[in-house]
């Protein structure tokens, strides 16, 4: 009987000791979901000029030293163009054969241009658009391309944005675009300004401002004031696409696929 009582006391002591240790374990809290207030912005049109060309399927849009560089797509119609920002006149144009041209960006003194489904990015001289020997391979589709001065920033039509090494094109990191907690797909043409990525969404009449670190959408920019955002009802191919930032004037230039005009605007 004494042994049984002793055994019971020992069991109780061990149980209480274990319970006490368990009660002292740190409480692990689930991290709170960051809530980002999405600003609603509009565009103020400063100027506009004719978008020269025969129904250009605009893909890439970027400004350097007062020149607007544009790539347009479709098989058999792909091209690179230089456009004068003051007059809208095409200064130089070159047809591109054998692939469907997509987004472009300028880094390290040359143009890098994506292809749609050929899984290759090509490089071109800024002066005469002669193709350089260097090219890059990638596994996804190619849609939009920009850079932050240190890395390529690329979209592939999903909700992902890829940051890539400027010398090897290897993926350094990936962000997923989220608007009020939900993924946004069909991320298309891109422009980078001061830590923010401005993005077209294929088929949408607005522009998203995305934080480059988190992928969270911080602002929606309503572009319905320009006709490029309103042509899709009569022409399904005519969708908003093309964002270029002019650091000299602190303004953006925007257009669309098969859009007859290019607009200089401010986001407000």
**Number of folded domains in the chain?**
1
Q: How would you write the pLDDT of the chain (268 residues) with one tens digit per residue?
A: 434 443 434 444 444 444 343 343 333 333 334 657 899 999 999 999 998 876 789 999 999 999 999 999 999 999 999 999 988 899 999 999 999 999 999 998 999 999 999 999 999 999 999 999 999 999 999 999 999 999 999 999 999 999 999 999 999 999 999 999 999 999 999 999 999 999 999 989 899 999 999 999 999 999 988 877 666 566 777 789 999 999 999 999 999 998 889 999 999 9
Cβ-based neighbours of 247, under 8 Å, separated by 6 or more? 63
> Domain range holding 89?
34-267
Dist. CA 4–CA 6, nearest whole Å: 5
Q: What is the predicted pLDDT for the residue at 225? A: 86
Q: What is the predicted pLDDT for the residue at 7? A: 43
For residue 238, being part of any structural domain is answered with yes
For residue 27, being part of any structural domain is answered with no
Q: What is the predicted pLDDT for the residue at 245? A: 98
The half-sphere exposure of 202 on its side-chain side, counting CA atoms within 13 A, is: 17
Q: What is the predicted pLDDT for the residue at 95? A: 96
Q: What is the predicted pLDDT for the residue at 5? A: 41
For residue 112, being part of any structural domain is answered with yes
Q: Beta 131-137 vs 182-183: how paired, if at all?
A: unpaired
For residue 113, being part of any structural domain is answered with yes
For residue 185, being part of any structural domain is answered with yes
Q: What is the predicted pLDDT for the residue at 238? A: 76
For residue 26, being part of any structural domain is answered with no
For residue 252, being part of any structural domain is answered with yes
Q: What is the predicted pLDDT for the residue at 86? A: 86
For position 89, which CATH number holds? 2.120.10.30
Phi and psi based region of residue 22 (left: phi greater than 0; alpha: psi -120 to 50; beta: remaining)? alpha
For residue 10, being part of any structural domain is answered with no
* Helices and strands of the chain, counted as H and E runs: 1, 22
Task: Using the CB atoms, write b or e for 174-183: b if 16+ within 10 Å.
Answer: ebebbbeeee
Q: What is the predicted pLDDT for the residue at 40? A: 97
């Amino acid at each position: 009987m004494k042994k049984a009582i002793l055994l019971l006391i020992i069991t109780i002591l061990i149980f209480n000791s274990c319970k006490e240790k368990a009660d002292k374990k740190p409480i692990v809290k689930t991290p709170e979901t960051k809530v980002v207030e999405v600003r609603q912005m509009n565009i103020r049109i400063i100027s506009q000029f004719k978008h020269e060309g025969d129904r250009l399927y605009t893909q890439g849009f970027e400004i350097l030293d007062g020149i607007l560089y544009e790539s347009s797509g479709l098989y058999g119609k792909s091209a690179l163009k230089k456009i004068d920002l003051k007059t809208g006149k095409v200064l130089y144009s070159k047809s591109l054969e054998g692939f469907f041209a997509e987004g472009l960006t300028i880094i390290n003194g040359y143009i890098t241009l994506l292809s749609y489904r050929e899984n290759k990015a090509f490089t071109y001289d800024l002066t005469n658009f002669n193709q350089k020997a260097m090219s890059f391979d990638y596994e996804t589709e190619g849609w939009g391309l920009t850079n932050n001065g240190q890395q390529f920033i690329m979209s592939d039509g999903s909700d992902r944005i890829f940051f890539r090494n400027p010398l090897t094109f290897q993926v350094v990191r990936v962000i997923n675009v989220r608007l009020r907690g939900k993924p946004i797909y069909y991320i298309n043409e891109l422009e980078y300004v001061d830590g923010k990525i401005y993005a077209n969404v294929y088929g949408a009449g607005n522009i998203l401002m995305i934080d480059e670190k988190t992928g969270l959408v911080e602002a929606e920019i309503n572009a319905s004031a320009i006709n490029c955002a309103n042509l899709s009802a009569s022409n399904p191919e005519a969708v908003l696409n093309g964002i270029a930032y002019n650091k000299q004037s602190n303004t953006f230039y925007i257009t669309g696929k098969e859009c007859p005009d290019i607009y200089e605007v401010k986001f407000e």
